Amino acid sequence: MSDALPIDENLDDWFPRDAAPESPAPANKRLGVVVGGSLSKGLDVKLDRQTDIESLAVGRYVVVRGKRKRFFCMITDVILDSTNPSLRSDPPDLSDPFLREVYVGTAAYGMLHVTPMLSIEGVAGEPKPVKTIPSHFMPVEIADAQDVNDVFGAEDATHFNVGTPLELEETQVNLDLKRLVERSSGVFGKSGTGKSFLTRIILSGVIQRNLAVNLIFDMHNDYGWEATDERGPKVKGLRQLFPAKVSIFTLDEESSRRRNAKYDYVVTLGYNDIEPEDLAMLKLTMGLSDSMLDAAYTLRKKWGKNWIVELLDADSAKLEEVVQTTNASSASLTALARRLERFERFEFLRRDGAQGDSVQTILNYLTEQRKSVVLEFGRYGSALEAYILVANYLTRRIHEEYVKRVERSLGDPSLEPPQLLITIEEAHKFLDPLIARQTIFGTIAREMRKYNVTLLVVDQRPSGIDEEVMSQIGTRITALLDNERDIAAVLTGISGASGLREVLARLDTKQQALIMGHAVPMPVVVRTRPYDATFYQEVAGYSETPAPDNGAARRLAGLGKRKIE
> In whole angstroms, how far apart are CA 359 and each of 3, 269, 399?
87, 10, 10
Query: Chain centroid to CA 83: how far?
Result: 44
Of 93 and 490, the structure prediction assigns the larger pLDDT to: 490
Torsion, CA 88, CA 93, CA 96, CA 100, rounded to 10: 0
Neighbours of 551 (CB within 10 A): 8
pLDDT of residue 6 exceeding 70, the answer is no
Of 106 and 396, the structure prediction assigns the larger pLDDT to 396
The residue ranges of DSSP E strands in 123-184, in sequence order, are 128-129, 139-142, 159-165, 173-176
For residue 5, pLDDT beyond 70: no
* pLDDT for res 546: 53
Span 372-385, mean pLDDT?
92
Do 35 and 136 contact (CB within 8 A), yes or no? yes
Q: Distance between CA 182 and CA 530 in Å, rounded? A: 26
Tens digits of residue pLDDT in 183-229: 999 999 998 888 999 999 999 999 999 999 999 999 999 999 988 76
Predicted pLDDT at 28: 56
| Contact indicator for 479, 513 with CB cutoff of 8 Å | yes
Give the H/E segment covering residue 228: strand 227-228
| Average pLDDT of span 499-504 | 86
Q: Is residue 92 very low, low, confident or very high in pLDDT (cuts 50, 70, 90)?
A: confident
Average pLDDT, the chain: 86
> Residue range 419-445: average pLDDT?
89
| Top-tier CATH class for 175-268+355-540 | alpha beta
pTM tops 0.75, yes or no:
yes
% of the chain residues with pLDDT over 70: 90
Nearest to 303 by CA among 282, 329, 272, 280: 272
At 444, the pLDDT band (50, 70, 90 cuts) reads: very high
pLDDT, tens digit (0-9, with 9 covering 90-100), for 149-173: 888 888 899 999 999 998 788 889 9
Cα 375 to Cα 30, 110, 207, 248, 362: the distances in Å are 52, 53, 16, 6, 10
Mean pLDDT, residues 259-273: 93
Q: Is the pLDDT of residue 320 over 60?
A: yes
Average pLDDT over residues 356-382: 94
